[in-house]
């Protein structure tokens, strides 16, 4: 049995212009120790998907379908039961570490808190565990800084503290939603390297969410490309990037910043902007922006086509457009 199995996950939002599906029936499975990336432009449903996995959707959102952790259905579990899973079996790292950290509590207290809450360990034992975790994530001089407050650390250090907190109970799954977007490039690399090490060392599964194709390409073994609430392409990261099949993936690939491009170089962008949810066509979500759109694309949800190496794509025009290889 896979650690996490998501089937036909749909997240419906009440918006001022009516109900709209922000996530439109996605599915994936994740084994223990496996790493999965979710990539796509702003608004494609990455964060809502992550929030649904830990039962923290906004009040305006309702999820249907199935989310199973070790076979246990999480959708519809009462808050009390979800609370026992969140922070214990599933750890979450946020884009902005202060989302997770309380400015009024010392870092020792916060990093040890999940252990007190979920494992009922003593204050002294939690403090000891917090120290070990803070040392592991690379907080310099952790022993003498246990009683410092979050604002006394740099952004990168705060993200390390957030990671330590997410790891406290030894979760089976770590979800990191844009964990490095708020950090500068050097610190970003260090944090991603730390996540890699921790995943390898602890055998956790990782879901890494990013709008940055480069971050995904270098850090996860499997990738989901999302657009307009749908997974348009998925598979082993190497296979997806070596043979881009969906026009949206090609667009993202062409728009990625070239390594070593001089500062200020204009990025190629995908024509058009992400439409509002209620305006998405009933067929392929990308139909309004795609240069290959045919009439059928607007009305028919494309079925998944299997390519070699477990690579899947949902595009009605695949036969005509083929796949794109090499460095475009
Ligand atoms: N609390 C909310 N209330 C209303 N609409 C929301 C809420 N959260 C998200 N949405 C809408 O749902 C859609 C998906 O949002 P989501 O936050 O999942 O996108 P995302 O892929 O994480 O984008 P980003 O890269 O900007 O973080 C967007 O259209 C967004 O406006
Ligand atoms: Mg997001």
Shortest-distance Cα residue to atom 28 of ligand 1: 43
pLDDT at 61 over 70: yes
Using CB distances shorter than 6 Å, the residues near ligand 1 are 13, 22, 40, 42-48, 58, 60, 211, 277
Residue 147 C-alpha from the chain's centroid: 31
Q: How far apart are CA 207 and CA 4, in angstroms?
A: 11
- 3-state SS, residue 324: strand
Shortest-distance Cα residue to atom 27 of ligand 1: 42
Q: Give the model's pLDDT for residue 99.
A: 85
Q: Give the model's pLDDT for residue 267.
A: 55
Q: Give the model's pLDDT for residue 23.
A: 97
303 CA → ligand 1 middle, Å:
25
Read off the pLDDT band of 269 (50, 70, 90). Answer: low
Nearest atom (ligand 1) to Cα of 274: 29
Other CB atoms within 10 A of residue 309 CB: 12
Does residue 277 or residue 160 have the better pLDDT? 160
Token couple for 244 = 């881009």
Nearest atom (ligand 1) to Cα of 48: 18
Q: How far apart are CA 230 and CA 9, in angstroms?
A: 10
Q: How far apart are CA 155 and CA 151, in angstroms?
A: 9
- Asked whether 172 and 204 are in contact (CB, 8 A), the reply is yes
Q: Give the model's pLDDT for residue 10.
A: 97
Q: Give the model's pLDDT for residue 264.
A: 53
What is the rounded radius of gyration, in angstroms, for the C-alpha atoms of the chain? 21
Give the residue carrying structure tokens 């890699």: 196
pLDDT per residue as tens digits for the range 227-250 = 999 999 999 999 999 999 999 999
Q: Give the model's pLDDT for residue 265.
A: 55
Give the residue carrying structure tokens 């000891």: 128
Q: What is the mean pLDDT of residues 173-198?
A: 92
Provide the percentage of residues in the chain whose pLDDT is more than 90: 82
Helices 185-202/155-167 angle, 10° precision:
20
pLDDT at 261 over 70: no
Q: Which residues of 263-276 are buried (b: 16+ CB within 10 A; e: fewer)?
A: eeeeeeebeeebbe
Secondary structure letter of residue 63 according to DSSP: E
Q: What is the mean pLDDT of the chain?
A: 92
Of 202, 207, 166, the residue nearest 35 (C-alpha)? 207
Q: Give the model's pLDDT for residue 251.
A: 92
- Asked whether 269 and 226 are in contact (CB, 8 A), the reply is no
- 3-state SS, residue 225: strand
pLDDT at 70 over 70: yes
226 CA → ligand 2 middle, Å:
12
Q: How far apart are CA 14 and CA 311, in angstroms?
A: 34
């Amino acid at each position: 049995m896979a650690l996490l199995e998501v089937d036909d996950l749909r997240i419906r939002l009440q918006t001022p212009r009516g109900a709209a599906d922000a996530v439109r029936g996605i599915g994936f499975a994740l084994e223990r120790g496996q790493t999965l990336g979710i990539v796509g432009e702003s608004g494609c449903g990455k964060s809502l998907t992550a929030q649904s996995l830990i039962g923290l959707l906004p009040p305006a959102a309702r999820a249907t379908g199935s989310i199973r952790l070790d076979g246990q259905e999480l959708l519809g579990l009462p808050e009390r039961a979800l609370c026992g899973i969140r922070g214990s079996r599933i750890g979450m790292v946020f884009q902005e570490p202060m989302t997770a950290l309380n400015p009024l509590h010392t870092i020792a207290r916060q990093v040890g808190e999940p252990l007190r809450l979920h494992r009922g360990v003593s204050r002294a034992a939690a403090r000891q565990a917090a120290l070990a975790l803070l040392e592991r994530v690379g907080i310099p001089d952790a022993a003498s800084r246990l009683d410092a407050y979050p604002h006394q650390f740099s952004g990168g250090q705060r993200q390390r503290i957030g990671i330590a907190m997410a790891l406290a109970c030894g979760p089976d799954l770590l979800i990191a939603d844009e964990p490095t977007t708020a950090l500068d490039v050097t610190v970003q690399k260090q944090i991603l390297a730390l996540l890699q090490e921790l995943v390898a060392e602890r055998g956790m599964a990782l879901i890494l969410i990013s709008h940055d194709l480069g971050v995904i390409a270098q850090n996860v073994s499997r990738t989901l490309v999302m657009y307009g609430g749908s997974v348009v392409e998925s598979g082993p990261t190497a296979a997806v990037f070596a043979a881009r099949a969906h026009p949206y993936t090609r667009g993202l690939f062409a728009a990625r910043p070239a390594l070593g491009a001089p500062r200020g170089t204009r990025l190629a962008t995908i024509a058009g902007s992400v439409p509002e949810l209620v305006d998405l066509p009933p067929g392929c979500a990308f139909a309004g922006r795609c240069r290959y759109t045919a009439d059928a694309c607007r009305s028919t949800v494309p079925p998944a086509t299997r390519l070699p190496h477990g690579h899947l794509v949902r595009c009605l025009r695949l036969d005509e457009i083929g796949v794109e290889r090499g460095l475009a």
